[in-house]
């Protein structure tokens, strides 16, 4: 089945640093999503990307939908303690209602 490869698997950074993570796939997706999951909670949508090449921002978060429709990246600028958590990319297959998730990037911030 479809798989999304997300990297890095984990990141340890200092507060205030910028963060970059990415997601690649062997399959084409027509929509890419980025989620954040806190312990004991379900994933919460951060950014949705609907068009190849699209660059979208949400506060300190910026995400891009790759031109080949097989990759996406998420950047977080000036990290703060509440950014700690696990970030997941997800792809939506044309015509399907289901999401295919990456393995996640665990972000840890040292104050």
Partner 1 sequence: GAGVSQTPSNKVTEKGKYVELRCDPISGHTALYWYRQSLGQGPEFLIYFQGTGAADDSGLPNDRFFAVRPEGSVSTLKIQRTERGDSAVYLCASSLVGGDAWLSGYTFGSGTRLTVV
- Smaller CB separation from partner 1, 26 or 41: 41
Strands (E), 1-111: 4-7, 10-14, 19-25, 31-37, 44-49, 55-58, 61-65, 71-76, 85-92, 99-101, 105-110
- Cβ–Cβ < 8 Å for 34, 63: yes
Instruction: Give the nearer residue to partner 1 in terms of CB position, either 13 or 99.
Output: 99
Shortest reach from residue 40's CB to partner 1, in Å: 6
Binding site for partner 1 (CB under 8 A): 4, 6, 31, 33, 40-45, 48, 50, 88, 90, 92, 96-104
| CB 101, min distance to partner 1, A | 3
- Longest Cα–Cα distance of the chain, Å, equals 44
Q: CB-wise, 17 or 73, nearer to partner 1?
A: 73
Q: How far is the CB of 110 from partner 1 (least distance, A)?
A: 22
């Amino acid at each position: 089945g479809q798989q999304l490869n997300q990297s890095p698997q984990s990141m340890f950074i200092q507060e205030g640093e910028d963060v970059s993570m990415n997601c690649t796939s062997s399959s084409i997706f027509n929509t890419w999503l980025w989620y954040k999951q806190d312990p004991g909670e379900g994933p919460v949508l951060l950014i949705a990307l609907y068009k190849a090449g699209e660059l979208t921002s949400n506060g300190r978060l910026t995400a891009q939908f790759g031109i080949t429709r097989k990759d996406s990246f998420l950047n977080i600028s000036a990290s703060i303690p509440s950014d700690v958590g696990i970030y997941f990319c997800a792809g939506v297959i044309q015509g399907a209602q289901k999401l295919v998730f990456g393995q996640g990037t665990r972000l840890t911030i040292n104050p």
